[in-house]
A and B are shown apart, each in its own frame.
Chain A
Amino acid sequence: MFPIIAKEELGPSVFRLRVRAPLIAAKAQPGQFLIVVLDEKGERVPFTLSDWDAEGGTVDFVFLVVGPTTEKMARLQVGDTIAHCVGPLGRPSHVDTFGHVVCLVSGYGIAAMVPVLRALKGKDNQITTIVQAPDKKRLFGLEALKEWSDKVLVATSDNGNGKGPLASDQLRHLLAEHPNQPIHRVVAMCSLCLMWVVTELTRPLRIPTFLHMTPIMVDGTGMCGACRLQVEGTNRFACVHGPEFDGHKIGSWDVLLARRCSYADENVLQQSYSCRTCSQW
């Protein structure tokens, strides 16, 4: 049993939980995730570690309420327990001294990216973070992003005049300055469609672009193949070979989008990928 030590509401339908899970905390690295099973009849659902305390034996994650499990989770209180937690799963995010790194985040990525930013900062990178949110009300965790970034660009729809820029617009501006103000690496932990757009924007410039791919998972240990995606034409499992992948090597975006359409950002969607035509859960 994994007791809940702390709970915080970060915004509408966004929560942070701190859970006692010493085995996970002891080995956690930036970009890794855990799998949670709320009770013996529960689903196995993955969440990215947003913080941990190896000595205190606790891990944090931030989640958006999107469906039955996360709704149930939102009702849990400090002192309640979670039946199962397993992790840290997946490979850590690759961190080195790259130079200028542009990070794109949205949704839970806003919190889940923080350990990666911290590690990148620890390696003396210059960091520009672009954060996208539907509106100011649903923008959370800005302070942590600011703490570990040299510059934070906010993309919300109510930036002053009611129709603000998108994260992809912000990135376009930065790319226009490249190579005068070179970008050495792009890391994205945001909606799938935005990650696709980012990949296509950086591809012609050959800027290494790394994405946190989160296809639907079941076991999270490489046993079921639910999380497979095409990387350079071969099958890779996001739970063991990822979740971080070289975006320019990922294929079959249409299939990935159809499988996980719920986070679709209408603004960057192409007509044929509209969620209304997608039959996947």
Chain B
Amino acid sequence: MGILEVKDVNKNFGGLKALSDVNLSVRENSVHAIIGPNGAGKSTLLNCLVGKLIPDTGSVMFDGQSVLGRKPHEINQMGISRVFQTPEIFGDLTVFENVMIPCFASRDGAFRMHAYEHTRHETDIVSMAEQMLADVKMLEKRDIHAASLSRGDKRRLEMAMCLVQRPRLLLLDEPTAGMSRADTNNTIELLREIRDKRDITMAIIEHDMHVVFSLAERITVLAQGTPLVEDTPENIKGHPKVQEAYLGEAA
């Protein structure tokens, strides 16, 4: 049994079959990559995991509990954090505040009336956020507005916001898109470090094969809403079906 079990999930948009009979099992404390051409349904699958979409049929279990029918904040409180394909950050807030908010969410739950204490006097939260920003090498940018960051930095910030929550399952939707080569390598390094140091499961969607093969222990190939194969990186590389559906198209 994996920590995440997706069974027979179907999702239609009007006549379009975005997901058909998707089955996926992600083993605890592993890195699982989901690859596939544009429009394959990768983001749709993640949307079904975090409560943004509800599948038409099928079940999604996280750690033995169903996530279906739960609100996004409840799913996050179960231990699932997500980095979106287009960065979702608090643009009007500073970088530091962006990282503090998830810390508060993890410590205080979905709502806390906390209107008298000065934010800066929450020393445990402040040091947690500072440490996280140092880990992603963004500490010197702490006081600038998140909206004015570069695209790569926005992604890095969003990743920091997810990591600081110490999620049990981290969902990453193209975490290195729009990053420079150097930033991509830094990100790979960071994710590796976290994978080795903490108990964390990652599901990562990525077009950059360098990232996929650097991190993933298992890979699922999705095409037109259906999983084609699931295997180790070594076997996926030479798999004819994959060549045809994915790499073949790209070449």
A, B in one complex: no
